[in-house]
Amino acid sequence: MEKIIEDFQKLHENEERMERQLELEEAHKAKEEERMAMLEVNKLKQEADKKVERANKQVEDTTKQTELETKRADAAEKQIKNMILRLSSTMDIKSIASVLNVSVDEIEKYI
């Protein structure tokens, strides 16, 4: 009878050890899954940061291009004004409009 009780206690101890081992393995597995998830999160964050950086660069480039085009338009406008002012000293507005193929109203904006 003592042998049976002793065997039962050993069996019970073995079951407890196996349960603890299983819990430990599950904890290790969960920790590894968490580590892998964090790696994926970091990878996605880096990709998102790169996309934001590229978008910011595009905005910056577009802004510079817009500023350059505005400067060009301003310079062209100034040249047109100077040309019209020179012509107006020797021609009337209707003649200038006819030569430049624009309306009189457009010429009057510069005079």
Quote the pTM value: 0.56
Buried b (16+ CB within 10 A) or exposed e, 52-89: eeeeeeeeeeeeeeeeeeeeeeeeeeeebeeebeebee
Scan for tokens 């510079």, then name that residue: 64
Residue 7 pLDDT exceeds 90: no
> What's the pLDDT score for residue 58?
98
How far apart, in whole angstroms, are the C-alpha atoms of residue 42 and residue 46? 6
Residue 110 pLDDT exceeds 90: no
Q: pLDDT by residue (tens digit) across 35-75? A: 999 999 999 999 999 999 999 999 999 999 999 999 999 99
> What's the pLDDT score for residue 78?
94
Residue 99 pLDDT exceeds 90: no
How far apart, in whole angstroms, are the C-alpha atoms of residue 88 and residue 95? 9
Q: pLDDT by residue (tens digit) across 12-43? A: 899 999 999 999 999 999 999 999 999 999 99
Torsion of CA 7, 10, 11, 14, to 10 degrees: -160
> What's the pLDDT score for residue 5?
85
